[in-house]
Amino acid sequence: MPLVRSLGATYPLSPPRALRFSPHPETTVILLKHLIELVSRLIAALVLSCAATSEPQAQPAAQFAAGPDGAPQEQEDENPPVKPRRISPKRNGGESREYRGVDGEIVLPGVLPKSTSKAAQAAWKTFTESIGTLHAMKSFELEFSLRQRNPDPEVPQVNDMELVFSYLAPNNMRAVLESGRTLLRGPGGDYLIDNQETIKLVGREGAEDKKQIDEMVSIARNFVALADPRSLRLTALTLEEAPPAEVTPRFRPLAESLTWLGAESPDFFLEFGRAEVKGGPPPLYRARIGIDSATQDVRIAIIQEQRAGKLVRDTAILVVMNEYAKRNSLRVPHKIELFSAMPVEASLQFHELPTSTLWLKRSSGRLRAKLEPDDFRP
């Protein structure tokens, strides 16, 4: 039996009878009946086809409430679902990699993984709400005094310098040293500007200067991440039961008095050991953060690179932050000490003397500076 098909619907069509024209009234009536039947079936098929294509798709029911004038007004969901978005490359050197949390979902700035315990959520909320409501800090222009020291007491070496330090997240940096030299990292790469000469740092010739730039970017990113962590992408967050055993005896009493959070994020940065994993999996860092419960200031942190779920001992740094004061409506430390890991195989231990000490000058500089990537071109 022939079929009539229309957009997925199939309708049987009876074969027409062989008819011969005759002026007899009965023959004319039979012919008209067949024609009417055929036209009716075709019309029915067309109607069903149109209904199938024009049927509206199911939409989520919107919530409405009466507005001030009595007209219905759409009401926002109190807990709208976060739509995972692809992190695309940005002109300021943003990372194009996606990171997934312990729940397997793409991590977004300031959003905790769903599996985070209620205790950790509460501690994080108290910590971040104490910072204020201004937009997160992603840039600064500050003046520092910097002391770099060889941590080995048998080979004492100290280097003091003054610098004007500009930074725009995640990787743009300009450091103008008191010697007149400028170290620069921006959209065009790494540069050394010495008097009127601009040198692009490529290959082995600029290795030492590039290493110093890496160290300064590390200082800047970790300073921003710890001073204002609201925009961190967190792949995991835990509330620690005790301070890390690796805290040196000098700071142990302070560590015992702090609340400790464990945060995994790609938004910290460590210079040490990066060359070994170029082309490998995306870098991820584990930060154990000690927070003063009275002031909600970060006092101690241990930051370590994490590869394939394991902490890399040699990459660890101990950060001690003191002398907090308000700067542009944000409490920030004005003295920061960095301690590097000792080259021992048994366990993680830190040098007793800091590798670097920074003093933030109170007289000048600004947080949340209005900087653009093009400000970091030579």
Contact 275, 240 (CB under 8 A): no
CA separation, residue 165 to residues 179, 239, 368 (Å): 14, 34, 13
In terms of Cα–Cα distance, which of 272, 304, 303, 271 is closest to 290? 303
Residues 305-327: tens digit of each pLDDT:
988 888 888 889 999 999 999 88
Which range of 31-35, 82-86, 91-95, 216-220 scores highest in mean pLDDT? It is: 216-220
DSSP secondary structure letters along 297-351 = -EEEEEEEEEETTEE-GGG-EEEEEEEEEEETTEEEEEEEEEEEBPS-SSS--B-
In eight-state DSSP terms, residue 109 is: B
Give the residue, 42 or 21, on which the prediction is more confident. Answer: 42
CATH number of 139-376: 2.40.50, 2.50.20, 3.40.50, 3.30.300?
Answer: 2.50.20
Mean pLDDT in residue range 178-191: 94
Residues 345-364: tens digit of each pLDDT:
678 899 999 999 999 998 77
Any idea where the domains of the chain sit in the sequence? Answer: 1-38, 139-376
Number of H helices, E strands in the chain: 4, 18
Contact 332, 324 (CB under 8 A): yes
Q: Tell me what the pLDDT averaged over the chain comes to.
A: 78
pLDDT exceeds 90 at position 10 = no
Residues 123-178: tens digit of each pLDDT:
999 999 998 777 888 999 999 999 989 877 777 889 999 999 999 999 999 999 98
pLDDT exceeds 60 at position 11 = no
Could you check whether the bond before residue 170 is cis, i.e. omega within 30 degrees of 0? yes
